[in-house]
């Protein structure tokens, strides 16, 4: 019983820290992926506009 009581707080703190780091990294990843997606959407919109402009002439 003493061994478990002794082990849990350590594991808990370490686990929480790890989880926080992992969530942080995932947040970064989502951020950069989102940025990339926005850029790609912007490029596609520009291509569409250029295409429509060339068709109307």
What pLDDT score was predicted for residue 23? 63
Instruction: Report d(CA 3, CA 53) in Å as an integer.
Output: 74
pLDDT 10s per residue in the chain (57 long)?
Answer: 444 444 455 555 555 666 666 666 666 666 677 778 778 888 888 888 887 788 776
Burial 9-38 (b: 16+ CB within 10 A, else e): eeeeeeeeeeeeeeeeeeeeeeeeeeeeee
């Amino acid at each position: 019983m003493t061994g478990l009581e002794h082990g849990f707080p350590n594991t808990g703190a370490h686990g929480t820290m790890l989880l926080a780091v992992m969530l942080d990294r995932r947040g970064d990843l989502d951020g950069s992926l989102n940025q990339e997606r926005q850029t790609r959407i912007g490029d596609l919109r520009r291509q569409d506009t250029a295409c429509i402009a060339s068709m109307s002439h």
